[in-house]
Every structure is written in C-alpha cells, then in structure tokens.
C-alpha cells in the first residue's frame, strides 16, 4: 500500500463541453491534485475480475519483447493479444477486433507519455462509433437490438522491465458513481487528406508544439472519453512492480454493464485508471515503458 497524488478534472473550471488533446497537455479544463491510498494487488489477483470490478491481472508472457516498430506490434503482438483475450475472458466470444495501440515511454523525445489523469478511454457513444468505424459492414447488426453484448477491453503491459517509477492504477468500478464521469472531446491533429481518407492514427504520433497547447487550430474531435471527478469513495489499486510477463485487462466499456439500456445489475461497465508516481520507488528506477492494445470484444 502507498499514498499517491492523482489528477482529477475540476468540474467548475470550464464552460461548455470540455476538450483535451491526444498528443499533449493541451485541454480546456483544469486538473486538481488529490491524495489517495493505492493498494497493491500482488497476491490478491484472483479477488478481482473484469465482470465484478472492471479489471483483471493475469500472467501471460508475450513473445514480442521490444515493441520497437509498428509492424512488430500489428504483425505479431496483435495475434498474441487476441489469444490472451479469448483465453482469459470466461464467456464465449464470437469476435475480437483489435483497433488501436499506444506505446508510452517516459522519455523526453516520446510523443506519448504516461497519462497522469484519472480517465476512461471511451464513452458509450465513442464505443459505438468504434464499432461503426472499424466494422462498417457489420455495425448495424452488431449494435442493433439483437446484436448482443460487446465491450472494449484495454490490454496493458510494461515493456522490457517492471513498471516501478510510474505504474498504472485502476479504480474499482464498484466504488464509482455515474456522476463521476465527465464526457470530454478528444482532439487529434488534422492530417493531409482528412480523417475520412486516413483514419488510422497508429504510428503517426508526433511531438506537439508547446507554444500551441491552448489552441485547437490544426486539431479536430475524433473521439470522446471520460475524465473522472474526485470522489472520496474511490478505491485505487495497482500491481506493485508489475512485470512484462503480466498483463492488466481494463474494461473501457461494456454494453451490458450496470445502468446501460440492456444492463445487468452489478456488471462492471467501465474502469477509471491513471498513471501515478510511486514515492516508494527507488531513485534509480528505470523510466516506465508500456504498451496498451484496445480491443472490441463481441460475446456470443
């Protein structure tokens, strides 16, 4: 167990719908720091599950080790992730569609750094939009009244060595309230040809210009996520010294989650998460590297 500082959206700090940039610190709202206790999952992994809590820790070594190129991730690791999902989700699945990944390195020249804000990757609307975007020919059937259950699962793991200095924390879904979640437009850099011609953002990240953090010029909304307001009831957890042989499954959305139109009472619908600085980490701890792969999962 440790105590850490987490950044939460200040719901009085903006007007209209808030926005944030996918490639840097630019945003239209203010985060405020809040001290929270973070409990280790080490030795208690089986006490938590995707369905009950919205996250799960599994032991699942990867063949791919370095994740140094976009081709290595898509060409090899995606297949490993699909196999992992099918093995460790207890329900029968009819389809797994991997649509996105992000490599984060806590290095000055890395365009994607660990995100130290409590958030959820997709809203319900964004999840449905992902289905339409990546499976356009099947979308109406999959999203219709007879389409059944689907979810977005984020598979997160450290790269090369344990995530010690800036690990990832998750919030037990059962300790959150619906009012905690604030929908925020996610802005992406515009590209030549427009998003309609080139919607795939993987491998195209660039360092943002710090002089334009507060400007939306050259950006467009292509997603929506949740920032999470502070709540004293939240319970934070992390896998202490999590290794590359372990994976953290994070539920971003579940169409049958509690409170959804076809929701099942008590079924976790989403899980807030955030990187944080572990004050107990050694001063010489290596800077965190990690990969997250986001998957559309369709249940039988």
Q: Is the pLDDT of residue 206 over 70?
A: no
Residue position matching structure tokens 């992992």: 84
Predicted TM-score of the model (pTM) = 0.90
Looking at residue 181, its pLDDT comes to: 98
Looking at residue 214, its pLDDT comes to: 75
Looking at residue 22, its pLDDT comes to: 83
Q: Domain map of the chain by residue range?
A: 2-186+201-299
For residue 207, name the pLDDT band (cuts at 50, 70, 90): low
The per-residue DSSP string of 215-266 comes to --TTEEEEEEEEEE---TT--EEE-TTB-TTEEEEEEEEETTSTTSTTPPTT
Render pLDDT for 210-232 as a digit per residue (tens, 0 to 9).
Answer: 767 778 888 999 999 999 999 99
Query: How does the average pLDDT of the chain come out, rounded?
Result: 92
**99: nearest Cα among 242, 228, 223:** 223
Q: Is the pLDDT of residue 195 over 60?
A: no
Looking at residue 203, its pLDDT comes to: 52
Looking at residue 197, its pLDDT comes to: 45
Tell me the mean pLDDT in the region 56-81.
Answer: 95
Render pLDDT for 235-275 as a digit per residue (tens, 0 to 9).
Answer: 999 999 999 999 999 999 999 999 999 999 999 999 999 99
For the chain, percent of residues with pLDDT exceeding 90? 81
For residue 205, name the pLDDT band (cuts at 50, 70, 90): low
Render pLDDT for 94-138 as a digit per residue (tens, 0 to 9).
Answer: 999 999 999 998 876 776 778 899 999 999 999 999 999 999 999
The C-alpha atoms of residue 48 and residue 275 are separated, in whole angstroms, by: 19
Quickly count: other Cβ atoms within 10 Å of residue 164's Cβ.
20
Looking at residue 115, its pLDDT comes to: 85
Looking at residue 201, its pLDDT comes to: 57
Quickly count: other Cβ atoms within 10 Å of residue 178's Cβ.
8
Looking at residue 107, its pLDDT comes to: 79
Tell me the mean pLDDT in the region 48-61.
Answer: 98
Render pLDDT for 35-46 as a digit per residue (tens, 0 to 9).
Answer: 999 999 999 999
Render pLDDT for 154-184 as a digit per residue (tens, 0 to 9).
Answer: 999 999 999 999 999 999 999 999 999 999 9
Question: What pairs with residue 294 in β-bridges?
Answer: 100, 154
């Amino acid at each position: 167990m440790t105590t850490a500082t987490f950044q939460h959206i200040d719901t009085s700090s903006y007007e209209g719908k808030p926005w944030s940039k996918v490639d840097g610190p630019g945003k239209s709202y203010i985060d405020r720091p809040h001290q929270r206790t973070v409990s280790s999952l080490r030795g208690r992994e089986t006490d938590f599950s995707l369905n009950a809590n919205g996250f799960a820790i599994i032991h699942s070594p990867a063949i791919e080790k370095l994740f140094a190129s976009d081709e290595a991730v898509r060409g090899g690791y995606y297949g490993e992730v699909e196999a992992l999902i099918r093995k460790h989700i207890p329900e029968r699945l009819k389809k797994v569609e991997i649509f996105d990944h992000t490599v984060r390195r806590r290095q000055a020249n890395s365009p994607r750094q660990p995100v130290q804000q409590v958030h959820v990757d997709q809203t319900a609307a964004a999840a449905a939009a992902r289905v339409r975007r990546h499976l356009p020919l099947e979308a109406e059937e999959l999203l219709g009244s007879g389409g059944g259950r689907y979810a977005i699962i984020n598979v997160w793991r450290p790269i090369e060595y344990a995530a010690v200095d800036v690990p990832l924390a998750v919030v037990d879904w059962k300790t959150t309230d619906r009012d905690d979640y604030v929908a925020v437009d996610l802005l992406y850099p515009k590209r030549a040809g427009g998003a309609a011609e080139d919607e795939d953002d993987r491998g195209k990240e660039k360092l943002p210009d710090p002089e334009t953090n507060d400007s939306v010029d050259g950006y467009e909304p292509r997603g929506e996520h949740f920032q999470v307001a502070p709540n004293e009831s939240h319970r934070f957890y992390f896998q202490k010294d999590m290794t590359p042989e372990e994976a953290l499954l994070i539920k971003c959305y579940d169409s049958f989650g509690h409170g959804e139109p076809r929701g099942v009472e008590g079924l976790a619908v989403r899980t807030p998460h955030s990187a944080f600085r572990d004050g107990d980490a050694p001063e010489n701890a290596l800077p965190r590297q990690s990969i997250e792969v986001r998957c559309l999962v369709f249940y039988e």
